[in-house]
Amino acid sequence: MGALSDQYASISETTGSGQLSALLSSALERNTRIGTAAQQINRADAERLNAIFGYLPQINVTFSRDQITQRVIETDNAVFELGEAKYPVTTIQARIDQPILDLSRIFGIQHATNARSISEVEYIRTVRDVVYEVFDAYLVANQAKARSGALRQRMGFLARQINSQDALNDSGIGDVIEVSSLRSERSSIASEEALESARYIEALGDLALLTGASVSEIAPLRFPQGIGQSERRISVDQAVATGLEQNPVVMAAALGVVGAELDRRRALAADFAPVLAAYAMLEREDRANSRFGGGSLTEDTTVGVRLTIPIFNGRGRGYETLPATVGVRAGALDYYARRRQVETQIRATHARLSELSRAMGQSSNAARQSARALGSERDRLATGQSADLAVAAREIRLSVARERNAFYQTEYLRTWARLQYLMGADLSKQGF
């Protein structure tokens, strides 16, 4: 407990802006799920070692000290009439048993070895899960932070429009209804900004839970070059084939089927296969007295071979083969379900990437058109053909267009990360 408390029991303090690489490193070092998965490998190692011990010699030494009181009640043997005694007996026994042929234990060793492989794959799966969750929470935090800033900027533009309308009202040519509408819109945007701030705080909390470090601020993440249009560089069928081969979920399910089959063979051997074992025993007995009036010191050596052939219900617990066979079928069904789930998710994520790519293109074009319109409006303002109220309206449209474009870019990154995760890629090695 003391050895693990420093690394897993507390939240470490961080200073400055949280970089994604630093958060990923902290998660790999301090995440409790990763630590638990590592301990499962240690457990599987211990269980495999115990399975091997089951085929090694069994050596036992037994020491017993008995106090015996004997009295002959009735006998037709004249010698036994003298048989009354009270004496101690000391017995020392050394015994060694060695399995020679035990198929159930052999399959048990193979099953334990496969279980260790499953625990290793599950460890990789846990690492990939945690890295993906850190990556996604980081993107959500960036998204919420950027949208919150854009909404505050939009509130500033609305405040300019409200001030311009108030000035017009003071001169008697304003529109009271328009002012009320603008104030209502600003209040609605303020509520959205508060919601995004709450979403940002929640994402920081998720990052703290995943990394074991207190995260108060994150560094902004720009859209990386080379990721755009990634759905065109790999077809959906190629993505599915890669995912079915490298996704740890599918790998663990496949190993689960192998383990279930090995367990069925172990049960079949335990139910029906003969067991051949050798044994040797050395027993030394020291009797202080006997019914005949004298003690004895004896030493017996026994060496033998034992063959056990189960005929019917040999262990008195029925047959393990029946439920083990059902376990193989259940494992196969789970494997097929995992494959279907991964394939379905990859196809849906790949299609979503295509749609988000199209949305990014349209939103980028909208932002360019809004920027061009804003430039024209400012030129008109400089020549006295427009008013600051119209310029503020154009700035609001540009802010909305840019905010939507940034939102789609982050959604594209989140979807790209999910596709990489489903394909079995390690996001911590993607260069972010």
Residue 15: predicted pLDDT: 39
- Assign 281 to helix, strand or coil: strand
Sheet arrangement for strand 296-308:
58-71, 84-101, 275-287, 296-308
* Residues of the chain with confidence (pLDDT) below 50: 15-16
pTM for this predicted structure: 0.85
Which two structure tokens, joined as six digits, stand for 398? 């540009």
pLDDT for the residue 16:
45
The pLDDT tens digits for 14-25 are 534 578 888 888
227-277 tens-digit pLDDT = 888 888 899 999 999 999 999 999 999 999 999 999 999 999 999 999 999
pLDDT at 282: 95
Q: What is the pLDDT of residue 11?
A: 62
Residue 46: per-residue pLDDT: 95
Give me the residue label for tokens 């703290």: 208
Query: What pLDDT sits at residue 62?
Result: 96
- The predicted-structure confidence for 385-428, as pLDDT tens digits, reads as follows 877 778 888 888 888 898 899 999 999 999 999 999 999 998 88
Q: Which two tokens stand for residue 185?
A: 């819109």
- Look at the block and give the residue holding tokens 């104030």: 183
Tokens found for residue 298? 């004896």
pLDDT confidence of residue 69: 85
**Per-residue model confidence (pLDDT) at position 106:** 94
Q: Which two tokens stand for residue 177?
A: 């209804």
Placement of tokens 């905010």 in the chain: 403
Going by C-alpha positions, the residue among 112, 120, 98 that lies closest to residue 40 is 120
Percent of the chain with pLDDT over 90: 57
